[in-house]
Structure 1
Amino acid sequence: MRLSIVAVGRLKDGPERELYLRYAKRIDDAGRAVALGPLTLSEIPEARQSSAAQRKTDEAQRLIDQASGADLLVLLDVAGKSFTSETFARWLAGRRDDGHRTIAFLIGGPDGHGESALARANLKMSLGPLTMPHGLTRIVLAEQLYRAATILSGHPYHRA
């Protein structure tokens, strides 16, 4: 099952991008054995409208458009469903086993997600109650996707 992160904003070159790429490569390597991956990243520019509502509406539509080929849309939101690493791995395996071919994880801009993205999401997921920079969100999500692949394959990376 292909995995895609679609995010507002761009990771700049440097340590954050390098760390993200490290986990993306690990997912591609470890995920093959459990039919997860590859992981792709699509980045869209932040909207420039004057109001937050207009920015959210514009970004939501562009996120949805960028993720149009995905079978499932998972929207990252602080108020979404929280998973342990093990339950997240089982959830991913369940979607894979149900025949889904692609999951897109949507990361909104600084103003949050627009109504159209919220309405289209198959799942609203939280990485925790803390607010974090969107670049760091990509890294944490990529690490958890890698961790899920290792849990499903029985690799010792995850030691709960």
Structure 2
Amino acid sequence: MQITLIAIGKTDRSELEQLIALYEKRLKHYIKFEFVVLPDIKNSKNLSEAQQKEKEGELILAQLQPTDTLILLDENGKQYSSVDFAQFLQKKMNSGLKNLVLAIGGPYGFSDAVYAKGNGKISLSKMTFSHQMVRLFLVEQLYRGFTILRNEPYHHQ
């Protein structure tokens, strides 16, 4: 299985980029991982919230292959403990899934078309985080999940 993380807009903090790169490198010891950063929408100030979500949605959907499973990072999604998230990943691998795509939307969330294509939603917390922080938290949780599955000492119960 491959995991693809899709996010809108580049990270503007070098500290976050360094931490994301650290966990991305660690994660690649366990699974094929790709981080796709889609460009910010140009002239977004001239667009309504709905128009911006629509344009971002088109960019996200253009990245998908017909066999991909799309999971959206959404505040109304299912919340997992780290151990439960590891089990979620194991089930996806056991199912013979080719590519698990995790998508982080733009500042206003996802378009209706992306929600319609999604195969599920995950929430990292009931708290609101910046889209840039979510990238770091998600990549770290993916890494943590694989260390749990391998019974490695990174995660403590």
TM-score, length-scaled by structure 2 = 0.93
- Unaligned segments of structure 2, at least 5 residues: none
Deviation, 1:101, is 1.4
TM-score, length-scaled by structure 1 = 0.91
- Classify the secondary structure of the residue corresponding to 2:75: strand
Deviation, 1:145, is 0.2
Deviation, 1:39, is 1.7
Deviation, 1:38, is 2.0
Deviation, 1:133, is 1.0
Counterparts in 2 of 1:111 and 1:146: CA distance versus 1, 3 Å: same
Which of the numbers 74, 79, 87 marks the counterpart of 1:77? 74
Which of the numbers 37, 41, 52 marks the counterpart of 1:43? 37
8 A Cα contact 1:69 1:102, kept in partner: no
8 A Cα contact 1:89 1:148, kept in partner: yes
1:5 maps onto 2:2 in alignment? no
**Amino acid in the other structure paired with 1:27:** L
Deviation, 1:7, is 0.6
- Deviation per CA, 1:33-74: give whole Å up to 9, x if none: xxxx22211111222251000000110121111233662101
- Deviation per CA, 1:138-157: give whole Å up to 9, x if none: 10000000001000001011
Q: For 2:126 and 2:110, locate their aligned partners in 1 and report how far apart those are by CA, in whole Å.
A: 16
Q: In the comparison of the two structures, how many residue pairs are matched?
A: 154
Which has the higher mean CA deviation after the structures are superposed, 137-146 or 46-55? 46-55
Which of the numbers 106, 118, 123 marks the counterpart of 1:121? 118
Q: For 1:51 and 1:71, locate their aligned partners in 2 and report how far apart those are by CA, in whole Å.
A: 30
